[in-house]
Amino acid sequence: MGYRILWPAMRWPEGRHIEEQSIAGHQAEFCERFTEVTEDQWANRDAVVSVNDIPEEYRQQMAKCRIFLTPKVGFDNIDGAAWGERGVPLCNVLDYGTQEVADHAIALMLSLMKGITFHTRELKQDPRGRWRPALNPFGKRLSTCTFGVVGLGRIGTAAALRAKAFGMDVVMFDPHRESGAELSIGIRRVDALGELFAQSDVVSLHAPLSKSTEKMINLEILAQSKAGLILINTARGPIIDLDALHHAMKEEMIQACGVDVLPEEPANPNHPLIRAWADGDEWIDHRLLITPHSAFFTPESVYDMRFKGGKTILNYLDKGILDNCVNQHWLT
């Protein structure tokens, strides 16, 4: 019968064939919600796959589980320590959506710098009277601009190379990357986050969420921004202090911002920044773009996310190869 792998809260209602293909020859079991899982399933499955963490009351029943996989990059909503104490590795899926997220970061930058959404909205209001190309408030020649990258991992590197292809001067900040990583792709490096903000016309965030990066983009950092800075975030929402961003935009410390992620998702309509954006307040009009955590999405990236998760599980169960383990230091 092979291994028995459980999806206790299946995310994709349109079909399960990708998951079944990824573990061909083994048994896949699916439930729509945790409360539908039987005691036998919790107790006797070799692996469990879930976007969200498993509540402790169910985790305690999982006597046979050898690996827990969350089929996405982010794992900040999973208690890696609790899994590690049970001797269960927590793994994520890294290698999907790299191109898509990097493309999205550049798209947000271009939409703001080239006035795409600005002109669209203006022309909808008055197609003849506002047919004026010089209206764009953010227009800059890309080859005269500096593109700052925070976090030179897979996606940060892909975004840096895209910006470089536009002729932009690219500079990076990443205290965790080895010396010389920047030289391998022909960009510059700075040693302080504030220095990056002071030099850059565009800053694109590509850091993971951790205790050290939560609210890393705060008022102190934003106050050091170069005049006219455009901030892009396709990484994790809580990396930006949203209160600080509201203040910085209102006081024109930065010119504009494009985000695909927020500290609260869906967006909190009561937060002052979101409320001003939704109401179309004049001071923020055209200066803030928000997309609904959609940067990663293409049919190809979704397939990779779903398929590669199953392969990660089988690599461990079959061969003892542990890919993308994020709680190694907690394993007992």
The topology (CATH level 3) of 4-96+299-330 is Rossmann fold (3.40.50)
State the DSSP code for 105.
Answer: H
Residue-wise pLDDT tens for the chain (332 aa)? Answer: 699 999 999 877 667 899 999 999 999 999 999 999 999 999 999 999 999 999 999 999 999 999 999 999 989 899 999 999 999 999 999 989 999 999 999 999 999 999 998 899 889 999 999 898 877 888 899 999 999 999 999 999 999 999 999 999 999 999 999 999 999 999 999 999 999 999 999 999 999 999 999 999 999 999 999 999 999 999 999 999 999 999 999 999 999 999 999 999 999 999 999 999 999 999 998 999 999 999 999 999 999 999 999 999 999 999 999 999 999 988 86
Task: Choose, from 252, 264, 265, 300, the residue flagged as catalytic.
Answer: 265
pLDDT digits (tens, 9 = 90+) for 4-58: 999 999 877 667 899 999 999 999 999 999 999 999 999 999 999 999 999 999 9
The topology (CATH level 3) of 98-290 is Rossmann fold (3.40.50)
Q: Decide if 310 contacts 76 (C-beta within 8 A).
A: no
Q: Decide if 165 contacts 103 (C-beta within 8 A).
A: no
Instruction: Give CA–CA dist 52/73, Å, rounded.
Output: 12
Q: Decide if 87 contacts 45 (C-beta within 8 A).
A: no
pLDDT digits (tens, 9 = 90+) for 176-205: 999 999 999 999 999 999 999 999 999 999
Per-domain boundaries in the chain: 4-96+299-330, 98-290
Alpha carbon distances (Å) from 241 to 111, 217, 231, 248, 312: 23, 6, 13, 10, 34
> What is residue 150's three-state secondary structure?
strand
Name the amino acid, one letter, at 59.
R
| Residue 265 known to be catalytic | yes
Task: Choose, from 236, 246, 286, 287, the residue flagged as catalytic.
Answer: 236
Same fold, 4-96+299-330 and 98-290: yes
Task: Choose, from 66, 121, 188, 293, the residue flagged as catalytic.
Answer: 293
> What is residue 169's three-state secondary structure?
strand
> What is residue 260's three-state secondary structure?
coil
